[in-house]
Amino acid sequence: MSSDIVAGVSALAAAMGAAVGSVDAKVSQAKASAGPGIAEYDSLAAAVAANPNGSVRINYDEQALPADFAGVLLEYTKQSQNLNIQQTGLGPYKSMRLLRGQFPKEHTGFQMNGFGIEMLSHGSGVNGPTTVENGMAINVAKKGFATGNAKSGAINCLYLFGRQDGDKGLPVNDPGRSDIGGVIAGLTIVEDAGWCGVWESTTTQINGPVAKNGYAAHEQMRQLQLAFGVIYSAVDRGDRAYGFSVVANKGNDLTAAFYAGKASTASWDAVLMGQDVVKIDGNGNYRSLHHAWPDGALNLERDKVLANGNATLLHRGTGALRILAQEGGTIGFGTGGAIRVRLDTDGALIPATAKGNGLGRPAARFSGGYFGALDADGAVIFGSLPVYADNAAALAGGLTSGRLYQTPSKQVMIV
């Protein structure tokens, strides 16, 4: 190798060394200027001793935090680290990067956050998801998604743990209680600025990479949109507020807007519980279940003008379908918006008068069971009675003893 080449290689190596040394110097200088809050320590004890009430960065160490430590530790290593959540009973949980901290022992008059993000928005100028500004975004994607090559395995974008304990047997509003919430949100809009929802989510099913079952490759098959705690004030839609909102965005075979299941060892005492009104809207027909506490009406209605479909009360199995009115109540049956027949408290079946609609003076009263008496107050009108000349003709015509028929002269007879 010529001396010129050797000299050139040596110069290049010296330049590279100088550049690397310069980078190292700048990194060291940056760490030093950041102060002890970001200094690196090899053990938890050394980190706490150097900065007992601040934020420090240490190498991996699973020792418990001292009781008087009120700071944050950012642990980092190439290996995954244990999350100390022994109370879950599900572990072990590993974390590739772990922010571990501890709150002060006592504090009053203010909230404490282990980690905070504060952003101010100037506004993009255009509403909608394509120009939205997020305080934080998390994306977890399966390798090979929608290619047909993805491996099995569950993924969660965000997993929250909370383990609360405290004094027991205290009233609901007692300050000594210890509450816990998985997700706590406080959202506010001014007048009809737009949509306001604590939790808005969209779940979607798409077809795979090959066209099949009537869907093109990667075509959207089903989609549901869910929202909780919604206020939607708009000039073209009126003022609306929903505790729970579900919208079927896509798909003609979606199963239900609400499903409540049960486990083999637990079941629900009530599926829906409330004091006021629950409204269920499906297939364009308005249905309502009103429960006004304690003395209001309870209605199960199909209440939509010109809704010409059938409404069915169906019971299957050998058990009885029971309609009960207790504590002096009556049962009324009606058509055309009026009660036509009433079942009274003593079991009497009372057809309605034109004026009373079954609630006033009865036109007739059937009492005493199947073989009981007929008490008539006014005209008793029979529909289509068969016509026979006499009992012999009626028996020959198929009537049995005790049945009614009419003679050609309009007399009602009993066989």
Q: What is the pLDDT of residues 113-130, one digit of tens each?
A: 888 888 889 999 999 889
| Torsion 369-359-330-333 (CA) sign | positive
Q: What is the pLDDT of residues 26-57, one digit of tens each?
A: 434 434 444 444 566 677 777 777 766 666 66
Strands 374-376 and 331-335: what pairing? Answer: unpaired
Domains of the chain, by residue range, sit at: 35-104+153-168+177-184, 188-251, 272-305, 331-414
Please determine, for residue 283, whether its predicted confidence score (pLDDT) is greater than 80. no
Q: CB–CB of 331/325 below 8 Å?
A: yes
Hey, what's the torsion of the CAs at 355, 360, 361, 363, to 10 degrees?
Answer: 60
Q: What is the pLDDT of residue 219?
A: 92
Tokens representing 367 are 């009492």
How sure is the predictor about 101, in pLDDT bands with cuts at 50, 70 and 90?
A: confident
Q: What is the pLDDT of residue 304?
A: 55
Helix (H) or strand (E) holding 13: helix 3-34
pTM over 0.85: no
CB atoms within 10 A of CB 228: 16
Integer Cα distance of 159 and 317 in angstroms: 44
Tokens representing 85 are 């959540």
CB atoms within 10 A of CB 352: 22
